[in-house]
A and B are shown apart, each in its own frame.
Chain A
Amino acid sequence: MSRLIRLDRTGHTELASWTSGDPASERAAIGTFRRELDEGMLASISRPDGTAEVVRELPLDAELVVMRRPISGG
């Protein structure tokens, strides 16, 4: 089971979850993902080597995709 979450005021919110090979849940997750991007959120997946990668298409094989807000210099 893969999850799409958003970091927000509640700590985080699970926006979608999908199972590989279940087209309906995958389609729903992709739709939610695109809506979040349209609202200005950025998507990130963690790699095993401790780095992270920005993604612009929902990677259906990822276990966890995190939506975050942009950062800026203080």
Chain B
Amino acid sequence: MSAEAASTADRPVLAEAAAIPWRRRTTERTLRRDGRRWTLWTSGVVLTFAGPAAVLIWLEPLTIPAAAFWFAHGVAVTHMQARRGARSVVPIGSERSAAWKPVPDGPGREAEEPSPDEVALGLLGDLIGHEERDLLKETGLALQRGRLGVWLVGEEGAILVRPGGRRVYCHCVRVSEVGDLPAGDRVAHLLLALREDEEGFGTVANINFSGGARRVRRRLPKRSRPAFDRARQLAQLQE
């Protein structure tokens, strides 16, 4: 039995991960492999556009504007991939958040009665530590340290900052029947699942971007960047 298999053998498996036995369980090795694939893919995209652009200039230097446009197109594709990864996490209170729209005061609602969002945020605050609670309030993301790195959990995804803080993995994952769950509860669901079985959580989630941390940071909402910076700091300590 390999060291990785032995380390996971005595831990409970996330129920959702057990329901998809055909999917290879996330480990250090699968993450490294996926990271290499993403790097290869990104390099391929850049070369696909840069190569013809260079040939075009070599054949006719006057075509530099067209070649530059062609090359910029390739760079734009890689930017869009990073943007997609950053957008998938959905911090609480961000533009795509369930908490974005203010809860109207209904006729039967007492002024002092907390809204579902407030109740959910209260419970989420109880689940996390003091520092993480402040960070959540400020940035809309819940920070969770794990064996694979440092996680930032939002309503519809999670960012894994790998030890060293240089590479990140953006995961798309959400509550199956989300219905009208408040934003805080959406994060609490993902946070509990992550805490139950980190590798299983990574197995259930779909990676929609892997690459340099700085590429994702630029595309996060400004408000959420301090959480990202903190996660990178902690990940650097893990190396």
Using a CB–CB distance below 8 Å, which chain A residues touch chain B?
A: 5, 7-12, 42, 44, 46, 50-54, 66, 68-74
Contacts and interface: CB of A to CB of B under 8 A. Distances in A.
Given A8-B181, A44-B192, 11 more contacts: A11-B114, A11-B123, A11-B185, A12-B120, A44-B196, A52-B195, A71-B175, A71-B190, A72-B174, A73-B206, A74-B206
Interface string B187-209: 01110110111000100111000
Contacts of A10: 116, 119
A72 B127 contact: no
Contact of A73 (B12, B122, B172): B172
| Range class of the B interface residue count | 35 or more
B187 to A, nearest CB: 10
A72 B16 contact: yes
A74 B172 contact: yes
A66 B190 CA distance: 13
A51 B16 contact: no
Nearest to A55: B12
Interchain residue pairs A-B with the least CB separation, the first 7: A11-B119, A74-B172, A52-B195, A73-B206, A11-B120, A11-B116, A7-B185
Contacts of B197: 54
B195 A70 contact: no
Nearest to B17: A71
Given A9-B180, A11-B114, A70 B119 contact: no
Nearest to B127: A46
B151 to A, nearest CB: 12
Interface in B99-158: 114-120, 122-123, 127, 129, 144-145, 156-157
Contacts of A73: 171-173, 204-206
A59 B189 CA distance: 20
Given A46-B195, A69-B189, A72-B204, A7 B123 contact: yes
A42 B123 contact: no
